[in-house]
Amino acid sequence: MNAFTSQLQQLSLQGNLRHLPEMEENGAYVFIKGMKMLNLSSNDYLGLADDTALRDEFLQTVDMRGCRFSSTSSRLLTGNGVLYRQLENRLAELYSAESALVFNSGYHANSGILPAVTDSRSLILADKLVHASIVDGIGLSKARCIRYRHNDYEQLERLVAELARQYDKIFIVTESIFSMDGDECDLPRLVELKRNYDNIFLYLDEAHAFGVRGAQGLGCAEEQRVIGEIDFLVGTFGKAAASVGAFVICTDELKQYLVNKMRTLIFTTALPPVNLAWTLFVVNRLCQMQSRRKHLETISRRVRDVVNPLNGNIISSSHIIPYISGDSVRALRTAELLQHEGFYLLPVRPPTVPQGTSRVRISLNAGCTDTEIDNLVQAIQNCSSKL
């Protein structure tokens, strides 16, 4: 038995062995092994990915014969077409910011920005539950990093007070809505902390809030009126915006610095023009989708009212609602029961989440009807009684 076989067997015994699922999609539903299930495992938070009317409207606005399906090179060679400029200018306009810079994915953004802007004289203070892409970016940097306890601002403030003068730059890194717990950071408190020091930069990942929160759908920073206080505001197009890619809102100087220093931007083929055209089309319409955001919040509150009391100290405040089971085997069983009830929900296990917090992650979207939410609530209550 080789080392790979042994490790795979160990993962299987722990209930943590993963497989790539094969499915057929039909609108809001998926078909797997003959079972039709409502898809509550995607990040299509506004229900735009299967909005055929929106898609048809887009196709009327673009000449598909003249819209390339490949950029063929990096942005610094021949891949930086006019659509990049239009999209980045529009994002900067929406955020009332100096600049925006678009990337191929959220992973490219989070794994590339911090290594570019930090050095050995930098300190990164990152929330314990930041996304794996941020963790990888931290690992690629030369900065010292301390992971503070999740949303423990007293610990964070102590660390800043003790260490601020020992480093040229301090980067406080967090998410606005956390991808697995569905809870939120306290942005005003972080902004207040930043204002007390002249060497602090705030890095905020709004991946799960962009499109969903704020009057224009710009995220929690808009909702809490602190956009201008965030030095690196990262968002993604692959979730609520139903496209692909990511962006950072920053100053002109920081944008130029990233263009020259950020390896995940420099050494990758640019996004295809057809994707950029679709993204710009959707971004221009996000401001008008407040009714979808309101419906999403309404149905999310209904599900949270049922699930949060079952979860102990992990309390969601968003459309991402974990149903905590504890161990991985129990999470697998929970997912099976809910799938049998017609809901495509998947177990989330270590290392994605900490040991002892395996769960089913309920990811709601604005396309869910009230009847579907009624059935989901009933299914969760039935499942809870069986476990």
| 205 catalytically annotated | yes
The burial of 26, by beta-carbon neighbours within 10 Å (0-12 exposed, 13-18 middle, 19 or more buried), is given as exposed
- Give the active site residue among 88, 175, 181, 223: 175
- Give the active site residue among 42, 43, 74, 375: 43
Nearest alpha carbon to residue 134 among 150, 151, 121, 147: 147
- Give the active site residue among 179, 243, 325, 365: 179
| 186 catalytically annotated | no
Sheet holding 144-148, edge to edge: 99-103, 246-250, 232-236, 200-205, 169-175, 122-127, 144-148
Residue pair 348/362 in contact (Cβ under 8 Å)? The answer is: no
- Give the active site residue among 208, 255, 295, 319: 208
- Give the active site residue among 183, 205, 223, 229: 205
- Give the active site residue among 108, 194, 239, 319: 239
| 142 catalytically annotated | no
- Give the active site residue among 108, 131, 255, 295: 131
| 239 catalytically annotated | yes
User: Which is it for strands 29-32 and 24-26: parallel, antiparallel or unpaired?
Assistant: antiparallel
**Measured distance CA(214)–CA(94) in Å, rounded:** 12
Residues identified as active-site = 43, 131, 175, 179, 205, 208, 239
